[in-house]
Amino acid sequence: MAFKKLVLLAAASLIANVAWADNVYYVGFEDSVRGDYDYNDLVFSLQGDGVTLVTSTGELFSQPVLGTNGEPFWNRASGDGPKDNVGYCIYGGGNCSSGLAPSDKYLASADGVSPVNDVYFSVTNRGSVSSPISIHLAADTNLIGWYLISDPSVIHWINSSNQQTGNFSFDPTGAFGLVGNNDGGHGGDTFYSQTSVGGTSDRFGSHFAFFGNSIDPPNPVPEPGSVILLGSALLGLSLLLRRRYNADGK
């Protein structure tokens, strides 16, 4: 029985996280609780060699009909204008932009509607992550930053209240999540791409919307330890079956 549990544990760990590799991700940030949830308050791109979006609950979906019906979660009426939610920034056709990435898909929960609350990024090549800020529409002073998932208490801000837009780069030493603040980092509300980490509680869900071109359908990416565990379990099972076969043959 213990051996069966070991095999099942190893197999289950292979599908625990889903990861997509992409050259460029676009991210929309919603900066307030009980706001308009248009996710256009800060729209930026995140790119780098070996940067991979990781989530255990999200899936990728093709562009919806843009509008204000709330499906998916970012497809809502914007206080900035009738066609200004983040979808118009990414796909075009509105007042936000001519379309930053019209072929991209959006990340949502399995229902295709709800936000994803457990997003972070893995990095295989250090020193190659850049995060150019593409658009800043909000009148508020919004900051975007990152934190190591091994130490989420330390936030590394990418931009500043004095320099809202421009080209920025950072060099994480491991897997990292994103964090946003709506008051220049001097108080206000702070939101994490992994909502379980902390920050402002909001029953609406994540304050980040993610877009990208990725593997479709997504393929599970096993962790090295899981592969070793499964391989050891299968090897043990093979030896056990061989011994039983030899015993029965005698």
Q: Which pLDDT does position 86 carry in this prediction?
A: 96
Same domain for 44 and 133? yes
Same domain for 163 and 55? yes
Number of domains in the chain: 2
Same domain for 6 and 129? no
Percent pLDDT > 70 in the chain is 74
Same domain for 35 and 148? yes
Same domain for 234 and 188? no
Domain around 101: 19-219
Same domain for 197 and 75? yes
pLDDT digit string, tens, across residues 192-245: 999 999 877 788 899 999 999 753 333 444 444 444 444 454 455 455 445 554
Predicted TM-score (pTM) of this structure: 0.78
Asked if residues 38 and 24 have their Cβ atoms less than 8 Å apart, the reply is no
Same domain for 135 and 247? no
CA atoms within 13 A on the CB side of 193: 29
Same domain for 76 and 165? yes
Same domain for 143 and 236? no
